[in-house]
A and B are shown apart, each in its own frame.
Chain A
């Protein structure tokens, strides 16, 4: 009786898992061994290892790394000062509110902001730097990406900081540590789980952004995501697209494995 009752819940859930988690991944791996005519081949994997694709992957990782580091550099102090404000939950909500604005609209806003006569150029002119081409450069790509990812970085770090017992900071101060030493030796190491969770939440999607590269960077920046989209929806070479997706997934798994399960610790 007891057992049968429990299994009832597992049936629909397991069906969902098999249909929408396991099956798509299996199909993706299967497709990666097919060429454009549906014949079995290893050519896709050979192609992925040619310099063109390796270079694209290296660039993709490099940009993702830049975006992650910049988000961390901006996001950590933000989270830190947020925990010091009086109505911190409200401020946090205000900071992550832009997360709910459709991503495409935020990217679209930058088309205007970074345009030749946009606000950014007006500002640059006002401070004497002079107007310059901002759209369709790698700078604008990184800037817009960081803008979009900051809330994802702030949130886990904020949670980690909140869980830090204030007595530890008092103890460090009582033992004579300066503000900076307290931060470096006590606060930062103890919020590392949040930092890891934040970096994961930024780095992995940053590898696969394609709408930002398409809209903001012209075609100057090609990320793994752009390549997958290109193969699936433009050139219709699904096998090649699937192969890049498999490579991206392996890379992701390695990253998650290397950084540990920061997500779990962060939400504890």
Chain B
């Protein structure tokens, strides 16, 4: 038994090495003065300087952050409303239908979401750009928030609501004093999840971005198509550190709010 454990550990180490090699590789060469992702010549910070002095790139980073924060905030509000809506539906059939519809955007491949949103915006006459990207990010984040909040809601004992009502609370007070405080950790977890989905999304954005507006993922894609440039490496190092911060935040909240629901839905 002990021996197999040791092999298990070796195996895990191997998997971890594979998982982190590409990320480490990117970071390592971001300090290479040689300009390629092989043959490390000497240590330099010039790629970081290049990233930080690239106004266009900084605007894109800003765009990406604005879209992520706005869409996550709106999606969280809509998602909490959605979870409450599903929670209060009493008929099981109706509930299952709502849940199935909720999950459509989670199981659909990004390409299909992107293509169908492109059709939607074109037919609705919405100009492709900031608005269409923001709307689609809100749209695909809502079901994730619902899925993170709903289990917590189902966990809540209904007697609490009865007790609050018996003590004279109106429906507004029940919501603000009982339900929402109880849901807070899962709402934050949902917000973080929506944030990471938005920051990470490429395919949907790629379809609905049009000309003139770009997010980081789309920009990285178009730069990577032109080949290797170490400023992308520098950028990715900065992004990785930023993501670590986000993950730590998410981890803290999800530890409070229960299990890591919903991850593993997309790429």
A interface, CB within 8 angstroms of B: 5-6, 9-10, 12-14, 16-17, 19-25, 27-28, 31, 74, 77-78, 80-82, 84-85, 91, 93-113, 115, 117-119, 122, 147-152, 155-156, 159, 179, 197-198, 200-201, 204-205, 207-211, 214-215, 224-225, 228-229, 232-233, 238, 241-242, 245, 248-249, 252, 256, 263, 267
Contact = CB atoms under 8 A, between A and B. Distances in A.
B183 to A, nearest CB: 13
Contacts of B207: 229, 232-233
A81 B10 CA distance: 10
A155 B109 contact: no
Given A101-B240, A201-B265, A205-B267, A119 B120 contact: no
B80 to A, nearest CB: 9
B111 interface: yes
A104 B220 contact: yes
Interface size class of B (residues with CB under 8 A): 35 or more
B18 interface: yes
A211 to B, nearest CB: 6
B111 A152 contact: no
A5 B171 contact: yes
A17 B246 contact: no
A205 B43 CA distance: 39
Given A77-B8, A155-B264, 19 more contacts: A12-B78, A21-B101, A27-B119, A78-B12, A85-B12, A102-B220, A104-B220, A113-B37, A115-B38, A119-B25, A149-B267, A150-B19, A205-B110, A214-B225, A228-B112, A232-B114, A232-B207, A252-B107, A252-B109
Nearest to A18: B101
A70 to B, nearest CB: 12
B264 A152 contact: yes
A113 B221 contact: no
B116 A25 contact: yes
Nearest to B38: A117
Nearest to A155: B264
A238 B107 CA distance: 22
Contacts of B114: 232
Contacts of A152: 264, 267
Contacts of A104: 202, 217, 220-221, 224
Nearest to B265: A201
Interface string B76-102: 001001101110110000000010011
14 contacts: A6-B85, A6-B88, A9-B85, A12-B82, A17-B98, A108-B224, A108-B236, A112-B26, A118-B38, A147-B18, A205-B109, A224-B111, A232-B115, A267-B261
A94 B22 contact: no
A256 B104 CA distance: 12
Contacts of B247: 93, 97, 100
A105 B239 contact: yes
A74 B239 CA distance: 28
Contact of A107 (B25, B110, B224): B224
B82 A151 contact: no
B203 A210 contact: yes
